[in-house]
Amino acid sequence: MHPRAGTPALPEDLVDIDALLGAYYDLEPDVTDPDQKVVFGTSGHRGGAFRRAFNEAHIVAITAAIVEYRRGQGTDGPLFIGRDTHGLSEPAQRTAVEVLVAAGVEVHVDARDSYTPTPAVSLAILRHNGAGTSEGVRTRGPGLADGIVVTPSHNPPTDGGFKYNPPHGGPAGSDSTNWIADRANQILASGWRAVPRVPYERAIASELIRKHDYLSAYVDDLADMIDFEAIRSAGVRIGADPLGGAVVDYWGAIGERYGLDLTVVNPEADPRWPFMTLDWDGKIRMDCSSPYAMASLVTRMTAEGGAAPYDIATGNDADSDRHGIVTPDGGLMNPNHYLAVMIDYLYGGARPQWPSDAGIGKTLVSSDLISRVGARLGRRVIEVPVGFKWFVPGLIDASIGFGGEESAGASFLRKDGTVWTTDKDGPIAALLASEILAVTGKSPSQRHAELVTEFGESWYARVDAEATREQKATLAALSPEQVSAQTLAGDPITARLTRAPGNDEAIGGLKVTTANAWFAARPSGTEDVYKIYAESFVSADHLAQVQAEAKDVVSAALAG
* Residues with catalytic roles: 153
Cα 182 → chain centroid: 24
Say how far apart CA 501 and CA 511 lie, in whole Å.
11
Residue 510: half-sphere exposure toward Cβ, Cα within 13 Å: 27
Tell me the pairing of strands 487-488 and 409-412.
unpaired
Q: Which of 211, 204, 181, 190 is nearest to 95 (CA)?
A: 204
Say how far apart CA 511 and CA 517 lie, in whole Å.
11
Instruction: Tell me, letter by letter, the H, E, C secondary structure of 465-490.
Output: EECCHHHHHHHHCCCHHHCCCCEECC
Q: Name the E strands within 205-357.
A: 209-212, 237-241, 261-264, 312-316, 323-327, 331-332
For 95-104, b/e burial (b = at least 16 CB within 10 A) is bbbbbbbbbe
Say how far apart CA 345 and CA 376 lie, in whole Å.
12
Q: Which residues, 6+ apart, have CB-to-CB distance to 201 below 8 Å?
A: none
Q: What is the largest CA-CA distance in the chain?
A: 68
Say how far apart CA 501 and CA 160 lie, in whole Å.
34
Say how far apart CA 86 and CA 83 lie, in whole Å.
8
Q: Name the E strands within 63-173.
A: 79-83, 107-110, 146-150, 159-165
Phi and psi at residue 448, to the nearest 5°: -65, -40
Cα 385 → chain centroid: 14
Please say whether the beta carbons of 145 and 167 come within 8 A.
Answer: yes
Q: Which of 206, 169, 191 is nearest to 79 (CA)?
A: 169
CA angle 117-118-124, nearest 5°?
Answer: 95
Please say whether the beta carbons of 265 and 297 come within 8 A.
Answer: yes
- Would you call 68 helix, strand, or coil by DSSP? helix
Radius of gyration of the chain (CA): 23
Count of helices and strands (H, E) across the chain: 17, 23
State which H helix or E strand residue 400 sits in.
strand 400-405
From residue 147, alpha-carbon distances to 107, 351, 558 in Å are 9, 30, 40
